[in-house]
Chain A
């Protein structure tokens, strides 16, 4: 058996594409995707209960509900995928390949973040449509999409720090720490993802929230990269 020789090492982009494709395939053949779709439908069920009230009274309420879904869905995909590989030691197959470890994380995020975003944004559109018969403002979609990306980075970092409990810890962090910090009437609220998503979704507060989310996401991704370089299998 001899395989034809390729380049000395695969390009990072090629590795990311391969890993994204494998991650998708595994997800499609597993159960997590169907559970996630069910979770994404929860805001729609809630919307059908509160329909008829105007945007002013239920907009914030429904958005807060969608934020809770974001806090669960993104870690569910990202943390479980990364954590399983480390815990089950299937990461040894990846880390012994001639690819940088950041490319392994990037490959998984490239597959899972768009999927989580589609579910969150789709769920938001359907829920809003049920609640008041029209689509919500574009700013809310942008805010939620950036929120999904930021939460995915949080999940990646926490999972690299604590692979076995990555998903649970990320959900706990998002639901109890991030939301609590975001509710503080102080500057500290600026580091809260949920706070920034709410700010960004409100046209009156401008786009400063986008920059804040990028900064928060970058900090968490740096933590993940620092940690994954040091992890041993």
Chain B
């Protein structure tokens, strides 16, 4: 008999009192690495917690490997969950924490420390095994959480915002490690509110917005839709007028606004705009103090995608 799908949500809804967390979601996950994309408060964490067995659906059903993760203790043996929040047992060392988590997930006592050590090393924490979690940076906490999630060698990993607060170098490293887990055959669901984070991990995404699955499929199709929405890039530099003059003639530029310390460019093609800005900065010897996008928050983009300006 073939193994049931990893996740099957059938008209699954979740309310927190009067607040709707997830609304009538029907979704099937067969395997691979999938990104859950949506702005803050969209329902990503709710779906993650339902899959991890931390929440029970208010209506409809959600099964993991054909069983209810909330009610069925055994199926949780196959799940590894790294929550969004940072809090953990700070009094313990990384090794003590991950060993305890491995033990609680069914790894025998004799093997748990070895499994924990291997998991921490796999997450690049070999140098911090015996340090207390209390003194860890955000990136180290994220790595420790990921190690806790993988120490018992689960088949299905749920990683809720694993790149939040992580510095760019650590981000690249963590992305590589998550991809390695996927290549090793794990089914992985990763959530993020930042498209570029998800893109680095997978091309398969599920877009969640206001508790509903808005779109599902290849990231490039979603990306194309998102890129049609004007994207803002703020550049703070010593020659904002030079930068503005050089980029103003490009057809993808919708608007340019001068600000106190720089210039805000609204573009319909962010990738091209970033490339051209790099060329302009190099060619004109512009000193850039910061380059950022106020559109990190995807809320506006999702409202654009729904086509109703968020009035639903």
Contacts and interface: CB of A to CB of B under 8 A. Distances in A.
Interface string B62-102: 00000000000111110101010101110110001000111
A9 B77 contact: yes
Given A6-B107, A93-B101, A98-B74, A232 B55 contact: yes
Nearest to A87: B87
Interface stretch (A23-31, A69-77, A110-118, A122-130): A23-31
Interface string A82-98: 00000011101111111
Nearest to A11: B106
B106 A8 contact: yes
Interface residues of A, number: 34
B100 A22 contact: yes
Nearest to B52: A96
Contact of B118 (A3, A92, A96): A3
A14 B109 contact: yes
Interface of B: 49, 52-56, 73-77, 79, 81, 83, 85, 87-89, 91-92, 96, 100-109, 111, 114-115, 118-119, 121-122, 148, 150-153, 184
A10 B104 contact: yes
- Tell me the interface secondary structure of chain A in the complex: loop
Contacts of A10: 103-106
A81 to B, nearest CB: 11
6 contacts: A9-B74, A88-B87, A95-B54, A98-B75, A98-B104, A232-B56
A22 B92 contact: yes
Contacts of A4: 107-108, 111, 114-115, 153
Contacts of A38: none
A97 B111 CA distance: 17
A87 to B, nearest CB: 9
A192 to B, nearest CB: 35
